[in-house]
Structure 1
Amino acid sequence: MLDAYKISKDFAILDQIVNDEPLVYLDNAATTQKPQAVLDVLNAYYHEDNANVHRGVHTLAERATTAYEASREKLRKFINAKSTKEVLFTRGTTTGLNWIGRFAEQILQPDDEVLISIMEHHSNIIPWQVACQKTGAKLIYAYLKDGALDMEDVKDKLSEKTKFVSLAHVSNVLGCINPVKKIAELAHKVGAYMVVDGAQSAPHMKIDVQDLDCDFFTLSGHKMLGPTGIGVLYGKEEILNLMDPIESGGEMIDFVYEQEAIWKELPWKFEAGTPNIAGAIALGAAIDYLESIGMDAIHAYEQELVAYILPKLQAIEGLTVYGPQDPRQHAGVIAFNLEGLHPHDVATALDYEGVAVRAGHHCAQPLINHLGISTAVRVSFYIYNTKEDCDKLIQAIHATKEFFNGTF
């Protein structure tokens, strides 16, 4: 059983006072805090092993290269890719989705279609808008039913024209878990590539890209206890071999002639220049930390927290929860609004109570518009959050209502 109290002791940042209140950090969908074990690895690299990778034969270079590639292998196992050739280090999910968008530009033709959903993060919308604008393809949206993805709408909009289907595994606003394995099966039946935005799923549940049978999967290290500026793009090896490199220069070449060059094999073909070595190594440490807890245990614990907090939120007069109303259909992301109050005012008031949440459109403006609102408050949980944190959130919401007592 996951012990959130014990785990929280590994995160020194959580042990502080904000606005004269103990900090309750509930903005984990934006970024997670980093355990001491990850900070130690990050620090040790710069203090002991700082050197460029793949380029030197001296001891520091060899140690850095070994640690860097060891992290790639950890990520391979973490998502169950067949080979490290399928694990590309990126700056994060946004970079990975942009790379896939560039690949789409290689193959999309006029009248082809790309299917995404209305709940997507901007990172999984704009690259497809650009690709479709450049190629003449059409961007198609699937919509919602009962706060979750409407599977009938997905089925209706899939056709022989569909060349890519790209969906969030977990919505960063609604918190719903999309059935991407089933959708991948449907996509492949019409000959489409299946792309999964795993930014909100990889930190919270066990990922098996072979079981999902997705063609691409992206994740961000900073949302799963790792540093900022590092992420992973998984792609099936045969597809990555079809893709052109996105950047060119040092490190990604095998040989350069005066008028042409030969690329390195996967995965280095896509990793031009000096990579985020420290970030990749520290992400490996984050994977070690998560796996010491167990991804199934993490998912089960977050489901327990959601089952505890969601009914309490739903019971507050004037509070509207967006997304699925059944805790069993919800990941640890919950968006809501308080009637008569602007979400930014709510978030500021909660901060006065020491509770850190997010307010805004959450980089999902098409979804926010579809819901008929301008912004929303979002709370998001992780392994160091407790039921006492949930109680503090509820107390802080009631205090906020009392502060704006003329509204209710």
Structure 2
Amino acid sequence: MLDIQKVRTDFPILKREVNGYPLVYLDNAATSQTPQVVIDAIVDYYSNYNANIHRGVHTLSQEATDAYEQARQKIQLHFNAKHAHEIIFTSGTTHGINLVANGFSSLLKKGDEIIVSALEHHSNIVPWQMLCERTGAVLKVIPMNDNGELIMDVYKDLLSNKTKLVFVNHISNALGTINPIQKIIDLAHNKGAAVLIDGAQASPHIKVNLQQLNADFYVASAHKMCGPTGVGILYGKEAWLNKLPPYQGGGEMIAEVTFEKTTYADLPHKFEAGTPNICGGIAFGVAIDYMNNIGFNNIANYENELLKYATEKLLEIEGLKIYGPDVLGAKTSVISFNIEGIHPYDIGSIIDKLGIAVRTGHHCAQPIMDYFKIPGTVRASIAFYNTKEEIDKLVVAVKRAKEMLS
């Protein structure tokens, strides 16, 4: 079990006030907060061994290189990738998706089909639309139902021998829906299609086993996992990464350069052109260690307890509607809701004055909002450092906003 008060002391930002009230941070699906141990790692890097990596023979460069590559190995072990060189450091989930989409430009032809789901973040829609424009491939969509779940029977019918790539999120950022990705992956592979899973929302809540899932690509961001912004990972099976062309040209990703011809470096450096976010990669490794020390089973159990509590309390408010699955175990700690007759932005603005941070809008998932015919939702997203007392404050604040706006 978590010692929640001890955990909260790890996060210095949780001590601050907003608008004269103690901060209640419930925007974790956008960005999680950062524990002191990760902050210390960032300070330590810039204070003691800030240097470029892989190229220098001097001591600082060697120390930075060792720390960066050790972080890659930590991430490999955490996600259970087969090889460390299958972990590509990126600037985040969006970068990883675009890297794969760019690579498939040379692998698709007119009439090929790729499949996306109706539950996707814009970053897992727009790059594929751009890919279709470049190649003539056809984009097909797995529809959703009124519970915010994918209609799997339609997905089976969409699959064909023309299907080359399927890409879905592991968990919906807007609704918290946990998608049946093992089934999605297996069905796609039966048709010879590759699969990319957007794991940005899953990785803070679930310890992902990539070899068990057998996904061809998986992307995630450090800033959702108690790490810094501006760094993430793309996992790709070795065979696929060798097949894809480099995404960017520059230093580090080359084996040899002449004016007549350039040859590319081996994995992972083939996809890591230029000076990377060295400090970010190192800090990501520290964040992974921190979350594993807390324990992902502990995190899941506690967050589910908070999710159940928050759902019950919020549904006591007359006129409040929660979007997405209503069965615990079918979603993670995201509650996306509206109050009849009130714009979500207005609710978010009022409760911010009471020190409560939530997200309002379409959450970069506009097709979901269009399906429900709403302008957006109020999204309260819970992390393992939140408390029932904070949920109570949220409920009181939402009731107050309703009274003011009705």
Work out whether the TM-score is over 0.5: yes
CA distance in 2, matches of 1:188, 1:209: 15
User: Offset at 1:42?
Assistant: 0.3
CA contact (8 A) 1:305 1:386 kept: yes
CA distance in 1, matches of 2:361, 2:37: 32
Q: Which runs of 5+ in 2 are unaligned?
A: none
Identify the residue that residue 287 of structure 2 maps to in structure 1. 286
Q: Greater CA deviation, 16-25 or 63-72?
A: 16-25
| RMSD of Structure 2 on Structure 1 (CA) | 0.9
Q: Which runs of 5+ in 1 are unaligned?
A: none
Identify the residue that residue 127 of structure 2 maps to in structure 1. 127
Identify the residue that residue 389 of structure 2 maps to in structure 1. 388
| CA displacement, residues 292-312 of structure 1 (integer Å, 9 cap, x when unaligned) | 011122122211111111122
| CA displacement, residues 157-193 of structure 1 (integer Å, 9 cap, x when unaligned) | 1111111110010000110100111110000001110
CA contact (8 A) 2:176 2:335 kept: yes
CA contact (8 A) 2:252 2:272 kept: yes
Paired residue secondary structure (1:258)? coil
Residue 24 (1) aligns with residue 24 (2): yes
CA distance in 2, matches of 1:300, 1:131: 40
CA distance in 2, matches of 1:249, 1:314: 54
User: Offset at 1:196?
Assistant: 0.2
Amino acid at match of 2:73: E
Identify the residue that residue 352 of structure 2 maps to in structure 1. 351
CA contact (8 A) 1:218 1:233 kept: yes
Identify the residue that residue 87 of structure 1 maps to in structure 2. 87
CA contact (8 A) 1:319 1:336 kept: yes
| CA displacement, residues 376-399 of structure 1 (integer Å, 9 cap, x when unaligned) | 111101111011111111111111
CA contact (8 A) 1:307 1:328 kept: no
CA distance in 1, matches of 2:132, 2:301: 39
Identify the residue that residue 182 of structure 1 maps to in structure 2. 183
CA contact (8 A) 1:52 1:274 kept: yes
Amino acid at match of 1:192: A
Map 1:248-259 to 2 at 5 A: 248-259=249-260
Amino acid at match of 2:244: M
Identify the residue that residue 299 of structure 1 maps to in structure 2. 300
Paired residue secondary structure (1:328)? coil
Identify the residue that residue 136 of structure 1 maps to in structure 2. 136
Identify the residue that residue 109 of structure 1 maps to in structure 2. 109
| CA displacement, residues 81-124 of structure 1 (integer Å, 9 cap, x when unaligned) | 00011000000000000011112211111111111111100000
CA contact (8 A) 2:28 2:383 kept: yes
CA distance in 2, matches of 1:326, 1:181: 19
Residue 45 (1) aligns with residue 45 (2): yes
CA distance in 2, matches of 1:361, 1:82: 37
CA distance in 1, matches of 2:393, 2:151: 34
Number of positions where the alignment pairs a residue of Structure 1 with one of Structure 2:
405
Structure 2 length-normalised TM: 0.98
CA contact (8 A) 2:26 2:358 kept: yes
User: Offset at 1:328?
Assistant: 2.4
Identify the residue that residue 339 of structure 1 maps to in structure 2. 340
Identify the residue that residue 162 of structure 1 maps to in structure 2. 163
Amino acid at match of 2:322: V
Paired residue secondary structure (1:148)? coil
Residue 204 (1) aligns with residue 205 (2): yes
| CA displacement, residues 25-81 of structure 1 (integer Å, 9 cap, x when unaligned) | 000011011000000000000000000000111110110000000000000011100
User: Offset at 1:4?
Assistant: 2.3
User: Offset at 1:5?
Assistant: 2.0
| CA displacement, residues 120-144 of structure 1 (integer Å, 9 cap, x when unaligned) | 0000000110111111111111111
| CA displacement, residues 234-278 of structure 1 (integer Å, 9 cap, x when unaligned) | 000000000111111111111112211111100011101101000
CA contact (8 A) 2:222 2:232 kept: yes
Structure 1 length-normalised TM: 0.98
CA distance in 2, matches of 1:5, 1:105: 50
User: Offset at 1:17?
Assistant: 1.3
Residues 315 and 160 of structure 1, relative CA distance in 2, 3 Å threshold: farther
CA distance in 2, matches of 1:158, 1:388: 47
Identify the residue that residue 310 of structure 2 maps to in structure 1. 309
Identify the residue that residue 224 of structure 2 maps to in structure 1. 223
Amino acid at match of 1:243: L
Paired residue secondary structure (1:144)? coil
Q: Greater CA deviation, 136-145 or 181-190?
A: 136-145
CA distance in 2, matches of 1:79, 1:34: 20
Which segments of structure 1 move beyond 4 Å, counting only runs of 4 or more?
A: none
CA distance in 2, matches of 1:238, 1:385: 41
CA contact (8 A) 2:104 2:244 kept: no
CA contact (8 A) 2:103 2:246 kept: no
